[in-house]
Structure 1
Amino acid sequence: MLEWRGAGTGSTDPRYGEGRVKVPMDEEMSGRPGREEAAAAELPRLILQQLPVPVSFFDRSARLVSANPAALAGVGRTLEELVGLRPGEVAPGVVIRGAEGLEAAMEDVMQAGESRTYETHLHLEGVQERVLTAVLSPITGPDGTVLGCSVVTLDTSEQHRARERLTVLDQASLRIGSRLDVITTADELAEMATETFADFVAVDLLAPVLAGDEPRAPAPGSAIVFHRAAQHSVLDGCPESVVRVGTSHTFDRESAVGRALMRGEAARYTVDEQSLRLWELTDPDRARSIREHGIHSTMVAPLAARGITLGMATFFRHRTPEPFDEDDLLLAGELASRAAVAVDNARRYTREHATALALQRSLLPRRTARQQAVEVASRYLPNTTGAGIGGDWFDVIALSGARVALVVGDVVGHGVQASATMGRLRTAVRTLADVDLAPDELLTQLDDLVIKLDREESVDPGGSSVAGATCLYAVYDPVSGHCSMARAGHPEPVLVRPDGTASHIALPSGPPLGVGGLPFEAAEFEVPPRSILALYTDGLIETPGRDIDAALAVLRETLARPSGSLEDTCDAVMAALLPDRPDDDIALLLARAGRLDEGRHASWDLEADPSVVARARKHVAAQLEQWGLEDSVFTTELVVSELVTNAIRYGGAPIRLRLIRDSALICEVSDGSSTAPHLRRARIFDEGGRGLLLVASLTECWGTRYGPHGKTIWAEQALPAT
């Protein structure tokens, strides 16, 4: 006998109407047409009854007519209870939440006469949300009249959740790690997780990560110190949190967070009374928050990248009734892994950026040189397209005779290489300035140095060209008020006079450093007291899309506008000319010229006769007593005696003695010879050679500078403490 299970007249189940149709084997094999036709006619109904996919039938009025056992089992009702109900109803007038639009979709199918797919999210009481995909098909009679609609339902919840997870991960690749900042990355992770599957998310980083350092494994037996980097909640103000963003807190190594951190694996937990009692013993504040907000499910996922654990992300549910499942755990782990890579990239960038900035700061002057010739203010702004460092620099160098050198330079390119080259040039300028070279001579020596450096860099495949660097070097004398200035391919400075007029200083145009073969020329001019000299690099005025002449006009107008202190003037210039995103470094140096009054310096012309040495000592002693520096008379007389004697013996007329009281006491003796004295240690029977050694022993520093008509030997000693 063959048995066909299905609905028929022999139905024995009042709920499903199942029955058995028995066909004798011998009759089936005899090939009688009647039996075969009966079995074939019954086959579709049998298939429908045994099909594990829910199938329902509705008439033209969208009333349920029939349903197979799979459809009835899905709602836990009998066919008699459902016949005559509308789509989505489980009782008269009771529609399953999420199935409200099914009837309208069915009406459209029957009216159009074409099948369509309809997806619905059903929310059954006590059951997790189910996503069902229904295939709606019109049922037509022999004459083509639409008699009703069939509904084949497929449970696509798993596929839907898988698509949601893929969508979340796809969005994560776009939203997490948008900036190279560890705090921003942590905030993006917490925000995204709260929007998708968690009710509250906290992201904690190990403290060294914030400084760009690589965290070490916590010592055995010690608590783990975290820094709360970000947190987000579906509730306003994150009331679940007991830790404020930006503060540090600890977790015990044996806590859920501590175990997940040490193992490096994500884990999920159900909050029950036993775990709550444990929280109350170890962390009562967190336990109180868990009870108050009804947190029932948690997950912890370590932020680990490249073999380094950087922190921990903790996920909570209290408004979502379903606990976290394994799929949620996989999603949380994947999000934490992607965020960890972004955090590690940001950490590495923070470390490298801090290193580069430390290099930049070490190469730029951090404090004004000890001098009273000028009052200075400066600004340095790196470009925004590189690592935040570049080759622009400025410097203020105290020179002999109370003079001061003002320097602004620009090395071609950006980044660490340009910054390192800038440091070499700045050191070279300070070295050359220390030997009191004139501006044009200093640039000539610097040009030769750049040519040599460029040749060295050209041999190294990884090196960069140094040629093309620019520099402006100015020397200001507060005693005479004269300024000597030369430039190597650099923009002309601006002079703002006390009456408020501002104009560019016409300097001879020298070639950029490294070109070679062309001379540099210096220009000398008088700077009125309280005037302002503005030195800057081309990044301040050369911006794509902006006319340079217009920018120079704005610079002059801004400098001429009264704005109080030099710091305020610097801010005004930067506000007027600074682009939104500068693609070049910017250096600005403002210097207000001072003038030593006549009561702070004195000079005497001396004859080339040994008898004038005693008279020179008297002049110096009288002047020091007038200044109230009686304690310095003896030392200064010895210095003057030696320097004047050297000028008379080895130099030539004219001889001039000058005494300056500035931040130090300066003694200068000038003569018409270019012969340089040399410090040496005299032997026992030598009659000379002890004068300069005596001067060097009695003073803080001494030196020689050359001028167009001879040299000047100077010596500097500290003023008395009073």
Structure 2
Amino acid sequence: MPGSGVSPPAGASDVPTAGWDPGLLAVVDLVLGSPVAMALLHGDRYRLIYNDAYGQLLGTRHPDAYGAPAAEVFGPAWDGPAGEAVRATRHTGFVPRDQEWPPTDEGEPDPALPTRGLSAVRDGSGRVAGVLVVATEPVPVAHRLQGLSELAEALAGTLTLDEVARVALRYGLSFPDVHLVAFGVDDGDDWRMVRRIRGEVLDDADERLPPVWRRIPAESVAPLAVAAHAGLARFTSDGRPMRDAAQDRHDEKVRALAALPLRTPSLRGALTVGRADQHPWSPAERALLTAAAKLVAQAAERARRFENQHGTAQLLQRSMLPEHLPDDPRFRLAARYEPGVDGNAAGGDFYDAFALPGGRLAVVLGDVAGHDVRAAALMGQVRAALRALALADPAPPSVLSALDRLVASLGAEAGTDELFVTVAYGVIERDGRLTMATAGHPPPLVRHAAGTADYLEVPAGTPLGLGGRRTAAEARLAPGDTLLMFSDGVIERRGLDVGAGLEKVAASVADARGGDPRTLCAVACAAVGGTTDDDVAVLAVEHATAPSRSAGMEIPAEPTAPGRVRHWMSAQLTAWNVPDQVIGAAVLCASELATNALLHAGTAARVQVDLSAERLLVAVSDSGTRGSVTRAHAETLSSRGRGLGLIEELSDAWGTDPAVRGSTVWFEIGLRASNERERGIGVP
């Protein structure tokens, strides 16, 4: 531009400035050199002279707008508040009161219309020669800053990378016209990535299900991998930025792409936001996305630290609890474990059940105070010692007396008297006779086949390590009765008397529809409302009215697995002479659970079938971290949109058992009820 040391935006034509006042030329230099979106409206026709940032606000009107009259650039909108404000400034030399942004046809304000930030520009004679526009985006920026605040708030509540990914993807799609958002982090030598597409119907719609991650090779040319590796942001306004690494048509549709690196001392990754149309990323958008990426990176680093610590605690906890409960046709067993605090520490609650000589069954439930490695280590020592002592002399008083000496010795060795261990231990004979002793532990509960429940009258005793005489009580589990043992995390709540908690558990268990161990474990855990910081452990043993049949199969993590489950279950139940209508319902439900376990837990699973004279019980267990499932979210869990609504409809009861190894989803079909339904007889 003659007379100016700064060039106009790329693609713009020069505006003749020969003979211009030096002061006016200085304003032009200021406009063209500024990183802020600025324009000079010059002369009687308000011709536009602007910089690159303002050109981005003009979009497709640039570069033709350079030097053109404002009325031609903005069309009818120029006759609104924008034009009035500029004309008032031009003619009077004063900046008028702020006015509202005129909306476009799409309802959003035009960020290039100069209704704010106006200044009269005077020449050397003092005459107003033009109007300087400093473009701002008050309404859009306010909305986006609010979105950034909401992003920060949402990220503050995340614990895992899965949760961070969900929040980041949701934020990316909050921008208008965004087609695709992807979030990726380093995973060993490679990258792993998850994405969301606008309008996509997702399998993981339930917020508690983990998203489906994809692996990206380290040498990938995908924009996400490039940004993560280089640590540099890149904004593409138009083109085919994902062409060389497109995985499907959604990637190929992207024309404008923002790739933001995620960098912290312990994490590398990237967040990409893609549009299917040409889009010049404005300075405000770039700043907001960059700020959002920094927030996401910090949350991802916290989540990675949490997952590493959580994984260590989980591994320790897994080593302390039994891999499988005994398979005994006379007794059906189930257990439930829920970690307290934030799930990031190994707890001291434990349960165990194992066979004794002579066909007897030993059952144990204990609680070591604390939520740290020391508590978990002590719990492991107590559990291992108890099993060894019981195999030598299973009498409950003898076992607890020996454990008392062990804990006292460990306390003396550690130089502390703060070791606090409670335990309930019992021996069940083949005919259901029960001998039980406790050491400072809540009394066991018996749910009778008649639908009543009462606590065993067992001497409470003192916690282990404190000495004292250990005595036992005897009772009898009749066929159909279920023994329920639990830790104090089940009954203790702040502000609630322990006695009231015991009464709530007994009432809920008595009101349960049956004595199935899995059902009663879930009922007991939910009996006392509110939350607890303590671990929760429950062990249930049902004295079967008749020997049951059990079978199981491992489900490999491969696409053909659900079909193999259907074939195996159909053959197994047919061999057991299960009614056809029960087989059909059970096979369909089991296939659905197997599919969900494989898709959402991402690990191999196991299906277990247990058949008694009264009911068919099917359980599918995974080793992922899916967490418990509630009926309110049942419809969102299925990969085919059917979800656990099928189980709700086709079974008589269903539930979930969270554990340190993942979770188990089970359902039960009553054989008597199924036969009566088939004959059209109402079931009370």
TM-score, normalised on structure 2? 0.58
**1:483 matched to which residue of 2?**
434
Provide the rounded CA distance (Å) in 2 between the counterparts of 1:169 and 1:596.
Answer: 62
Shift in Å, 1:197: 7.7
Question: Equivalences for 1:100-499 in 2 at 5 Å?
Answer: 100=81, 116-118=97-99, 120=101, 129=112, 132-134=115-117, 154-157=133-136, 172-176=151-155, 178-196=157-175, 199-205=178-184, 215-218=187-190, 227-233=192-198, 246=212, 248=214, 250=216, 253=219, 255=221, 257=223, 258-272=225-239, 279=243, 282=244, 293=253, 295-309=254-268, 311-319=269-277, 322-324=279-281, 331-369=288-326, 374-387=331-344, 389-458=346-415, 467-478=419-430, 482-499=433-450
Shift in Å, 1:436: 0.5
Shift in Å, 1:398: 2.1
Provide the rounded CA distance (Å) in 2 between the counterparts of 1:560 and 1:336.
Answer: 53
Find the structure with the greater CA-based Rg: 1
User: In the superposition, relative to structure 1, how do residues 252 and 504 fare at CA in structure 2: closer, same or farther (>3 Å)?
Assistant: closer
2:264 corresponds to which letter in structure 1? A
Structure 1 gaps, min length 5: 1-15, 21-45, 54-66, 77-87, 108-112, 138-149, 210-214, 219-225, 239-243, 460-464, 598-722
8 Å CA contact 2:41, 2:133 repeated in 1: no
Local SS of the residue matching 1:404? strand
8 Å CA contact 2:86, 2:118 repeated in 1: no
8 Å CA contact 2:266, 2:301 repeated in 1: no
Provide the rounded CA distance (Å) in 2 between the counterparts of 1:576 and 1:121.
Answer: 56
| Aligned-pair Cα RMSD in Å | 5.0
User: In the superposition, relative to structure 1, how do residues 71 and 583 fare at CA in structure 2: closer, same or farther (>3 Å)?
Assistant: farther
2:505 corresponds to which letter in structure 1? L
CA deviations 1:103-125 (Å, max 9, x no partner) are 59999xxxxx997444747989x
Shift in Å, 1:135: 6.6
User: In the superposition, relative to structure 1, how do residues 414 and 51 fare at CA in structure 2: closer, same or farther (>3 Å)?
Assistant: same
8 Å CA contact 2:445, 2:506 repeated in 1: yes
TM-score, normalised on structure 1? 0.55
2:442 corresponds to which letter in structure 1? P
Provide the rounded CA distance (Å) in 2 between the counterparts of 1:374 and 1:551.
Answer: 27
8 Å CA contact 1:198, 1:317 repeated in 2: yes
User: In the superposition, relative to structure 1, how do residues 366 and 256 fare at CA in structure 2: closer, same or farther (>3 Å)?
Assistant: closer
Provide the rounded CA distance (Å) in 1 between the counterparts of 2:406 and 2:420.
Answer: 13
Local SS of the residue matching 1:478? coil
Provide the rounded CA distance (Å) in 2 between the counterparts of 1:268 and 1:136.
Answer: 32
Shift in Å, 1:540: 1.4
Structure 2 gaps, min length 5: 1-15, 29-39, 50-68, 89-93, 121-128, 203-209, 548-684
8 Å CA contact 1:130, 1:155 repeated in 2: no
Shift in Å, 1:441: 2.6
User: In the superposition, relative to structure 1, how do residues 451 and 98 fare at CA in structure 2: closer, same or farther (>3 Å)?
Assistant: farther
8 Å CA contact 1:404, 1:475 repeated in 2: yes
Shift in Å, 1:89: 8.5
Shift in Å, 1:342: 1.7
1:173 corresponds to which letter in structure 2? A
**1:681 matched to which residue of 2?**
none
Question: Equivalences for 1:544-559 in 2 at 5 Å?
Answer: 544-559=494-509
8 Å CA contact 1:98, 1:121 repeated in 2: no
Provide the rounded CA distance (Å) in 2 between the counterparts of 1:569 and 1:161.
Answer: 53
8 Å CA contact 2:446, 2:483 repeated in 1: yes
Provide the rounded CA distance (Å) in 2 between the counterparts of 1:406 and 1:579.
Answer: 27
Provide the rounded CA distance (Å) in 2 between the counterparts of 1:497 and 1:169.
Answer: 57
Question: Equivalences for 1:577-588 in 2 at 5 Å?
Answer: 577=527, 579-588=529-538
**1:532 matched to which residue of 2?**
482
**1:30 matched to which residue of 2?**
none
| Higher RCO, Cα 8 Å, sep 6+ | 2
Provide the rounded CA distance (Å) in 1 between the counterparts of 2:351 and 2:382.
Answer: 11
Provide the rounded CA distance (Å) in 1 between the counterparts of 2:78 and 2:371.
Answer: 62
Shift in Å, 1:254: 6.5
Shift in Å, 1:389: 4.2
Provide the rounded CA distance (Å) in 1 between the counterparts of 2:218 and 2:459.
Answer: 72
Shift in Å, 1:490: 0.9
Shift in Å, 1:567: 3.1
CA deviations 1:137-184 (Å, max 9, x no partner) are 9xxxxxxxxxxxx99764144999998987765554334353112233
8 Å CA contact 1:200, 1:316 repeated in 2: yes
Shift in Å, 1:489: 0.9
